[in-house]
């Protein structure tokens, strides 16, 4: 029996039929309106109707960016979609033609992390930390082969660990959160500040941004770094430093065998990974007297959410 994985973004959903080996057999997409949760419900039901015409489907896993309750049914809160205590599982189930199809809701980082654990970079370990380094910093934890959801379903929100007391303000309402230093948004913010301080030093980045520092993007910084621009290289190294330092703090608590780094910024490859490894090693407690986790790039790409959500729907 196959499962459908649905990865919900801010303005669209991507869905696919996934077999038990993590292979995507068919895919489709739909546009949605983040201010209208019912449009997302309808889109999920619509992709089920399309994909189930040619495949036998027994379950749907829905990956949502937000806090998902321990019953895998309700989105307690989402930063970019109008979900507040929203019964997503039940709303989708009501729209399906088949009462026998199981619907579960998962946090999107948990879904991506599970895909890496089952089929990707972490398939050979039992304990791992996934970091999704994008606009923010998401996380997923697998301990002893089990996905850690916590008492209320909101575990592994590692981006909101406080790493700098009285540090940069975070949209969660606190300051000094890890994602304020280890995210794509932090990378762009630091680059824009550097350009203002020394436009000559930031000339290459400014040129890629069309002369407007406010239009600068993370991929443009990576592009400049790959061409050897010193500022861009140093910015990615700083980002890598924070990724490694925070990962060392997580290692002190959970001792993972592997830290998997994914998300859009991971496209920088070794320009990000090597500084992260160096910082992790420098910050790791009792180094030299314990085994050390490996840091590696994610391997499942943009399909991780689909594959992980579908596989978790079977569990």
CATH of the domain at 90: 3.30.420.40
Lookup: tokens for 129: 């930390």
Structural domain range at position 99: 2-114+303-313
Residues 156 and 256 in one domain: yes
Residues 103 and 195 in one domain: no
In a domain, 134, yes or no: yes
Domain count, the chain: 2
pLDDT at 211: 94
In a domain, 119, yes or no: no
Among 246, 175, 184, smallest CA distance to 216 is for 184
Residues 180 and 132 in one domain: yes
307 and 24 in contact (C-beta within 8 Å)? Answer: yes
Lookup: tokens for 252: 């002190």
pLDDT at 315 over 90: no
pLDDT at 99: 82
192 band by pLDDT with thresholds 50, 70 and 90: very high
How high does pLDDT run on average in the chain? 95
Residues 110 and 131 in one domain: no
Residues 87 and 175 in one domain: no
Residues 201 and 222 in one domain: yes
pLDDT at 281 over 90: yes
pLDDT tens digits, residue range 53-110? 999 999 999 999 999 999 999 999 988 888 999 999 999 999 997 889 999 999 999 9
Among 137, 115, 146, 164, smallest CA distance to 254 is for 146
171 band by pLDDT with thresholds 50, 70 and 90: confident
pLDDT at 10: 80
Residues 141 and 37 in one domain: no
Mean pLDDT of 250-274: 96
Residues 138 and 209 in one domain: yes
């Amino acid at each position: 029996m196959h499962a459908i994985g649905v990865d919900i973004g801010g303005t669209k959903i991507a869905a696919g039929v996934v077999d038990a080996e993590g292979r995507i057999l068919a895919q489709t997409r739909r546009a949605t309106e983040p201010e209208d949760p019912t449009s997302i419900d309808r889109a999920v039901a619509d992709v089920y109707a399309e994909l189930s015409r040619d495949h036998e489907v027994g379950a749907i896993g829905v990956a949502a960016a937000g806090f998902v309750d321990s019953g895998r049914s309700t989105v307690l809160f989402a930063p970019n979609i109008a979900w507040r205590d929203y019964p997503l599982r039940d709303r989708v189930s009501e729209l399906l033609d088949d009462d026998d199809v199981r619907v579960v809701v998962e946090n999107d980082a948990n879904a991506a992390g599970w895909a890496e654990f089952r089929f990707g970079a972490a398939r050979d370990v039992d304990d791992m930390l996934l970091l999704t380094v994008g606009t923010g910093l998401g996380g997923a934890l697998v301990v002893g082969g089990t996905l850690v959801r916590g008492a209320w379903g909101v575990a592994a929100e590692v981006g909101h660990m406080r790493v700098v007391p009285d540090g940069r303000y975070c949209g969660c309402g606190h300051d000094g959160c890890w994602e304020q230093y280890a995210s794509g948004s932090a990378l762009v913010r630091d680059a824009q500040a550097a350009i203002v301080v020394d436009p000559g030093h930031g000339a290459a980045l400014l040129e890629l941004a069309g002369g407007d520092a406010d239009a600068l993007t993370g991929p443009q910084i990576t592009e400049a770094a790959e061409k050897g621009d010193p500022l861009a290289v140093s910015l990615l190294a700083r980002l890598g430093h924070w990724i490694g330092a925070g990962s060392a703090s997580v290692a002190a608590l959970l001792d993972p065998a592997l830290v998997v780094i994914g998300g859009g910024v991971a496209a920088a490859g070794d320009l990000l990974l090597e500084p992260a490894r160096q910082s992790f090693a420098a910050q790791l407690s009792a180094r030299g007297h314990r085994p050390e986790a490996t840091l590696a790039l994610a391997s499942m790409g943009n399909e991780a959410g689909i594959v992980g959500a579908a596989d978790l729907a079977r569990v």
